[in-house]
Amino acid sequence: MKHARLMQYCSEYWEEALSENKIKITINGIETLCDRDDTILKVAKKIGVKIPHLCNDKRLEPYGGCRLCIVEVKGVPRPLPACTTPATENMEIITDNDSIRKLRANLIELLLSNHPNDCMRCERTGDCKLQNLSYEYGVDGSRFEGEKWDLPIREDNPFISYEPNKCILCGRCTRICNEVVMAGTIELTGRGFNSMPDTAFKKPRTLENCEFCGQCVSTCPTGALTDRKGRGKGRSYDLKKIKTTCSYCGTGCNFYLNVRDGKVVKVTSDTDAPVNQGNLCIKGRYGYDFIHSEDRIKTPLIKIGDKFVEAAWDEALDLIAEKFSSLMKKHGNESVGAFSSSRCTNEENFLLSKFVRTVFRSNNVDNCARV
Amino acid sequence: MPAKKTAKKADIKDLVIRVCVGTGGLAAGSQEVMDEFGSQLKSHGIKAEIVKKCVNKTGCRGFCAKDVLADVILNDKSETYQLLTPEMVSRIVEEHIVNGSPVKEWLVGPEYHAFHDKQTKILLKQCGHIDPEDIDAYIKIGGYEGARKIFSLEPSEVIEEIRASGLRGRGGAGFLTGLKWELCSKAEGSPKYIICNADEGDPGAFMDRSVIEGNPHSVIEGMVIGGYAIGANYGYVYIRAEYPLAIQRLKIAISDARKKGFLGENIFKTKFDFDIKIKEGAGAFICGEETALIASIEGKRGMPRAKPPFPAHKGLWGKPTVINNVETLSTLPTIITQGAKWFSSIGTEKSKGTKVFAITGKIKNTGLIEVPMGMSLREIVYDIGGGCEKNCALKAVQTGGPSGGCIPASHIDMPVDYESLMAIGSMMGSGGMVVMDDTTCMVDMAKFFLSFTQNESCGKCTPCRIGTKRMLEILTRITNGKGREGDIELLLELGNSIKLTSLCGLGMSAPNPVLSTIRFFRDEYEAHIRDGICPAAVCKALRIYTVSVELCKMCGKCFKACPSAAIAWEKKQPAKIDKGKCIKCGACYEACPFNAIL
Ligand SMILES: Cc1cc2nc3c(=O)[nH]c(=O)nc-3n(C[C@H](O)[C@H](O)[C@H](O)COP(=O)(O)O)c2cc1C
Ligand code: SF4
Ligand code: SF4
């Protein structure tokens, strides 16, 4: 009986799913439903099948450059990239077998054959997709000795370090710069073995051509692009990651403060953040110096004469309450108001406006955001 | 004297001089020859406007080895001169045009006729006959009749006609043109576009260039037909900026066609609008790949993207787009006027019609030819091409340019069509055909093509960007005498994996020249690696220069030429080369007047 009901449920489920124009595909023997035009990679991820890739970032359009996500599709004589191939009705996919692994291993070998392989002193060790793949597939680049890039590290600006020798040409940096930021600072240049991401005419990054949002750094899967301010201050596994909301504006972007020995050493993206999906601006990513600034105000200050004097919170709040009350008593509720900062969160702004309207009984409330 | 004068006046009405002024002709000095004909005729008292009328320029007729070529047609009798220089013109005018007796020793020989007789010219028929800058000349031979005719048909009927003709794309992949059009015509989205692919980047290929230079209106007419069939009102011609003459003639042709009402609004007095824009490319081979080409027109870096979606569904600016090759498009008018049945009667079962090839390399008659699909390689090489230069033995023929493979001489009787070429590990490509004799080193040849594809790779995907580089490095070390055991296997492994994992046709086919030469000439690779010998004596690093005591005349020229002091020589003594000091530069070999350096 139970079984019959289950069967019925299943068939209803399939019918309903199919009626919504869902299609059925099979990945490694697992049948699943997905939308027409979902990529194989997307569906595989959803059902927990891992497919390696280097050039894919969910913030970007599918690219198909690194070729590591190749899979076998029944009836197709050559492997297809999972990241760009749309699912079609009754597609049967194998994501891992000897021949696919061999082709992937070849690709990793090729990437490593033009790589300094200096993981020992690399900023990204432990948090590098290339390193992980090399480990997983057990290959290095030594079978294909030959020319390797020998280009100097580029630190022509305060924020972004670029080590071209470590670049694997996944194009993520250039795509995020053009597709998401739309700054057009970098693009792939050159052809063949000498193609590389760069600025126009290899000019240094300055405020004239770059936003310094560090989006390129956030997407780079290797040590080619790193945050200059955090270099040498700890690798991913040395750092405690504390999720927080950016304090610069009311958008509410999330990110991780990377902390070591009580000090923030860099900011990294949280690609699952609902508001910003890992995207940040220059302030959020690089404007954290104030946290440990000597000049930072850490307690309320009360002005006595023409001098500010440090005070306790209770003392300050009492003073504020008292002053507001007396002003309102003397000049009426409309005589007071509040002005909040766009560096506060939406919720804080909301609370303030509620406070002014219900406690002050005044409509004098505003915010500094005047863009 | 009066007799001569009357002869001249009477004859001049019926005089036509056609000089081949394609890029090949121009390089050989055809403009100067043409100008000289003009001034010579004028100096014989013929009025300037008559001279202008009877001295015509034409596009390339294909036999570039004999440029400058010119026809002198007097009283309907045509004679063709070859290898002309301006200095020769006055004698031709004097003896042939004025006195009526052609200069026999300058006329073309039997090889000119052999070269042309075996060809079937559909698309090149008018190249070399009509003035490409004169729309009326094209109309006079039936031009734009095809375009006129389609407007009495439904677009779907036009597509059906092209489908029935069996025409396949001439840009390389050989996709059925009618099917491509049907997919695009049914695709949702508007506006739709038709793009003419005139990027032609293969080394040694000049088919598309010659067609545009010789008969630009046929391309425009083809685009009108395609545009009407798929419902596109806009066309682009993507042409490389290195083709200035083709661009210039195309511009003239487009503007003349607009004036006649063949382009623009309500063309041919119908309700259909169609116009064409030229987009000049910066000369990247990869921009011939259709999705890279689209990116380039859109102002982006020319890099291919994954298909699907195919351009027929999502092409230029995301709209349904058909991309066809120049040759494909310029074949269309004839198919429409002569009918699908006629076209499909030429060629083989699956490869219909004719194909233009640029034959180059170690062959006597280099040039541009058009033959029916399925003609044997032997006929092409020996009957049309005249066999190898200096009567050397044929070794192989490379088809499909850098994406193709080589066909060994033992397969000389194979038919040349899409399927047969594919089966042997080569491809039709755009129609380059390089003939190699026994002085060609196959490893060196493979290295040449691979260095081309490596340089032209867009860099987007790993296998093509780094893989071809590594293959090239292995080939370089083999030709430098530093090859190792296992190198051939490594080349095969890499080659096959690059073919399987690359994103676009460039990477997928780049290893072909290497894989096919290993397949047919593995012994040559082995000789380089194991014995340190280049059997064709091409790879300098593998040569061991010695002096033949019998041939040496003891002149000492080699001694003076050697930059490395590796040659010992004294007066009246044969020279001797010290192998240890020799840097294999070949200077002695070049310097010896008696071929005594071996
Ligand atoms: C690397 C590469 C280069 C190409 N170059 C050309 C070219 O120069 N001209 C051309 O017509 N097609 C070229 N193609 C083929 C085009 O992508 C496309 O298939 C063709 O233009 C379609 O036209 P057709 O159907 O008339 O052959 C190239 C393809 C690849 C992969
Ligand atoms: S710098 Fe990083 S993100 Fe940019 S292409 Fe190279 S590896 Fe990819
Ligand atoms: S195969 Fe080569 S040319 Fe094609 S996308 Fe990849 S890198 Fe670019």
pLDDT-derived band at B10 (thresholds 50, 70, 90) equals very low
B17 CA distance to ligand 3 middle (Å): 48
Give residue B3's pLDDT.
Answer: 42
CB contact under 8 A, B465 and A79: no
In tens, the pLDDT along B327-336 reads 999 999 999 9
Residues B595 and B459 in one domain: no
Residues B507 and B405 in one domain: no
Which ligand has the nearest atom to the CA of B172? Answer: 1
For A111, the token pair is: 């990437």
CB-based contacts of B446: which residues, under 8 Å, 6+ apart? Answer: B475, B513, B514, B517
B54 CA distance to ligand 1 middle (Å): 39
**β-pairing verdict for A307-310 and A263-269:** unpaired
Query: Tokens 């109309």 correspond to what residue?
Result: B139
Mutation for A interface: B477, B501, B503, most A CBs within 10 A = B501
* Residue B115 φ then ψ, to 5°: -60, -40
B512 C-beta closer than 6 A to ligand 1: no
Of the partner residues B306, B308, B467, the one whose CB lies closest to the CB of residue A110: B467
For B417, the token pair is: 């069509």
Comparing CA positions, the residue from B284, B123, B120, B139 lying closest to residue B212 is B123
In tens, the pLDDT along A197-232 reads 999 999 999 999 999 999 999 999 999 999 999 999
Of the partner residues A67, A79, A188, the one whose CB lies closest to the CB of residue B462: A67
Give residue B2's pLDDT.
Answer: 42
CATH architecture entry for A147-292: 2-Layer Sandwich (3.30)
A40 C-beta closer than 6 A to ligand 2: no
Task: Give the C-alpha separation, A225 to B16, whole Å.
Answer: 69
Give residue A11's pLDDT.
Answer: 67
* Residue A12 φ then ψ, to 5°: -65, -40
Residue B489 parent element (H or E) = helix B487-501
Least confident of A75-84, A304-313, B337-346, B564-573: B564-573
Encode B129-140: b = buried (16+ Cβ within 10 Å), e = exposed.
Answer: bbbbbbbebbee
Q: Is residue B158 in a domain?
A: yes
Which ligand has the nearest atom to the CA of A56? Answer: 2
Helix, strand or coil, per DSSP, at residue B494: helix
Whether the pLDDT of residue A364 is over 80: the answer is yes
Average pLDDT, chain A: 93
CB contact under 8 A, A195 and B500: no
Amino acid at site B269: K
HSE (side-chain half, CA atoms, 13 Å) at B328: 30
Whether the pLDDT of residue B550 is over 70: the answer is yes
Please check whether residue A188 touches B, CB under 8 A. Answer: yes
Amino acid at site A237: Y
Give residue B421's pLDDT.
Answer: 93
Asked if residues A171 and A188 have their Cβ atoms less than 8 Å apart, the reply is yes
Ligand 1 binding pocket mutation candidate from B290, B291, B330, B418 (most atoms within 8 A of CB): B290
**Smallest Cα distance from B501 to chain A, Å:** 6
Ligand 3 binding pocket mutation candidate from B452, B453, B462, B506 (most atoms within 8 A of CB): B506
| Domain A20-96 -> CATH class | alpha beta
Residues B549 and B507 in one domain: no
- Name the B residues in 451-510 with CB < 8 Å from any A CB: 454-463, 465-470, 473, 490, 493-494, 497, 500-503
Q: Is residue B536 in a domain?
A: no
Between A250 and B375, residue with greater pLDDT = B375
Whether the pLDDT of residue A350 is over 90: the answer is yes
**β-pairing verdict for B192-198 and A338-340:** unpaired
Q: What is the CATH number of the domain that holds B451?
A: 1.20.1440.230
CB-based contacts of B118: which residues, under 8 Å, 6+ apart? Answer: B371, B375, B379, B383, B384
Give residue B580's pLDDT.
Answer: 87
Residues in chain A within 8 Å Cβ distance of B301: 187-188
Task: Give the C-alpha separation, A168 to A115, whole Å.
Answer: 8
| For chain A, domain boundaries | 20-96, 147-292, 298-331, 333-371
Give A73-80's long-range contacts (Cβ < 8 A, gap of 24+): A73/A40, A78/B500, A79/A103, A79/B500, A79/B501, A80/A40
Residues B406 and B379 in one domain: yes
For A35, the token pair is: 């939308």
B562 C-beta closer than 6 A to ligand 1: no
pLDDT-derived band at A9 (thresholds 50, 70, 90) equals low
In tens, the pLDDT along B349-362 reads 999 999 999 999 99
B512 CA distance to ligand 1 middle (Å): 17
Task: Give the C-alpha separation, B235 to B261, whole Å.
Answer: 16
Q: What is the CATH number of the domain that holds B557?
A: 3.30.70.20
Whether the pLDDT of residue A161 is over 80: the answer is yes
Give residue A86's pLDDT.
Answer: 95
Give residue A12's pLDDT.
Answer: 63
Asked if residues B591 and B557 have their Cβ atoms less than 8 Å apart, the reply is yes
Please check whether residue A186 touches B, CB under 8 A. Answer: no
CB contact under 8 A, B500 and A143: no
Task: Give the C-alpha separation, B480 to A33, whole Å.
Answer: 57
Q: What is the 3-state secondary structure (H, E, C) of chain A?
A: CHHHHHHHHHHHHHHHHHHCCEEEEEECCEEEEEECCCEHHHHHHHCCCCCCCCCCCCCCCCCCCCCCCEEEECCCCCCEECCCCECCCCCEEECCCHHHHHHHHHHHHHHHHCCCCCHHHCCCCCCCHHHHHHHHHCCCCHHHCCCCCCCCCECCCCCEEECHHHCCCCCHHHHHHHHHCCCCCEEEECCHHHCEEEEHHHCCCCCCCCCCCCHHHHHCCCCCEEEHHHCCCCCHHHCEEEEEECCCCCCCCEEEEEEECCEEEEEEECCCCCCCCCCCCHHHHHCCHHHHCCCCCCCCEEEECCEEEECCHHHHHHHHHHHHHHHHHHHCHHHCCEEECCCCCHHHHHHHHHHHHHHHCCCCEEECCCC
Whether the pLDDT of residue B7 is over 80: the answer is no
Q: What is the pTM of this model?
A: 0.89
Q: Is residue B117 in a domain?
A: no
**Smallest Cα distance from A33 to chain B, Å:** 21
Whether the pLDDT of residue A251 is over 50: the answer is yes
Residues B336 and B420 in one domain: no
Whether the pLDDT of residue B545 is over 90: the answer is no
Q: Is residue B45 in a domain?
A: yes
Q: Which region holds residue B400: left if phi is over 0, alpha if psi is between -120 and 50, else beta?
A: left
CB contact under 8 A, B466 and A70: no
Among B108, B125, B155, the domain-final residue is B108
Give residue B4's pLDDT.
Answer: 45
- How many CB atoms sit inside 10 A of residue A28's CB? 14
In chain A, the residue whose alpha carbon lies closest to the alpha carbon of B461 is A65
CB contact under 8 A, A169 and B465: yes
Mean pLDDT, rounded, for B309-325: 97
Comparing CA positions, the residue from A33, A42, A39, A29 lying closest to residue A14 is A33
Instruction: Determine the distance from the C-alpha atom of residue A323 to the mean position of all C-alpha atoms in its chain, rounded to a whole number.
Output: 46
Mean pLDDT, rounded, for B137-154: 96
Least confident of A263-277, B129-143, B537-551: B537-551
Average pLDDT, chain B: 92
CB-based contacts of A91: which residues, under 8 Å, 6+ apart? Answer: A25, A26, A40, A73, A74
HSE (side-chain half, CA atoms, 13 Å) at B4: 11
Give residue B471's pLDDT.
Answer: 98
In tens, the pLDDT along B516-541 reads 999 999 999 999 999 999 999 889 88
Whether the pLDDT of residue B137 is over 70: the answer is yes
Residues B466 and B577 in one domain: no
CB-based contacts of B498: which residues, under 8 Å, 6+ apart? Answer: B463, B464, B467, B468, B471, B507, B508, B510, B511
Task: Give the C-alpha separation, B19 to B89, whole Å.
Answer: 12
Give residue B1's pLDDT.
Answer: 40
% of chain A beyond a pLDDT of 90: 87
Task: Give the C-alpha separation, B58 to B179, whole Å.
Answer: 35
Residues B193 and B207 in one domain: yes
Q: Nearest C-alpha to atom 8 of ligand 2 is from which residue?
A: A170
Q: From the CA of A172, give the closest atom in ligand 2.
A: 3
| Cα–Cα distance list, A307 to A297, A315, A321, B43, B209 (Å) | 15, 17, 21, 106, 84
| Domain span holding position B225 | 135-344
B305 CA distance to ligand 3 middle (Å): 9
Between A268 and B109, residue with greater pLDDT = A268
Task: Give the C-alpha separation, A288 to A159, whole Å.
Answer: 12
Whether the pLDDT of residue B9 is over 60: the answer is no
Mean pLDDT, rounded, for B540-556: 88
Residues B485 and B523 in one domain: yes
Q: At what angle do helices B468-479 and B512-526 cross, to 10 degrees?
A: 20
Task: Give the C-alpha separation, B227 to B225, whole Å.
Answer: 5
Q: Is residue B28 in a domain?
A: yes
B327 C-beta closer than 6 A to ligand 1: no
CB-based contacts of B368: which residues, under 8 Å, 6+ apart? Answer: B60, B62, B64, B124, B206, B207, B210, B356, B357, B358, B359
Task: Kindly provide the ipTM of the predicted complex, given to two decimals.
Answer: 0.87
Task: Give the C-alpha separation, A365 to A367, whole Å.
Answer: 7
In tens, the pLDDT along B66-100 reads 889 999 998 888 999 999 999 999 999 999 988 88
Residues B290 and B145 in one domain: yes
**Smallest Cα distance from B452 to chain A, Å:** 10
pLDDT-derived band at B173 (thresholds 50, 70, 90) equals confident
- Name the A residues in 13-72 with CB < 8 Å from any B CB: 62-68, 70
CB-based contacts of A267: which residues, under 8 Å, 6+ apart? Answer: A227, A255, A256, A257, A258, A280, A284, A285, A286, A288
Residues B217 and B321 in one domain: yes
**β-pairing verdict for A307-310 and B432-437:** unpaired
Among B437, B458, B474, the domain-final residue is B437
B294 CA distance to ligand 2 middle (Å): 25
Residues B322 and B383 in one domain: no
Question: How many structural domains is chain B composed of?
Answer: 5
Helix, strand or coil, per DSSP, at residue B400: coil
For B383, the token pair is: 């009957």
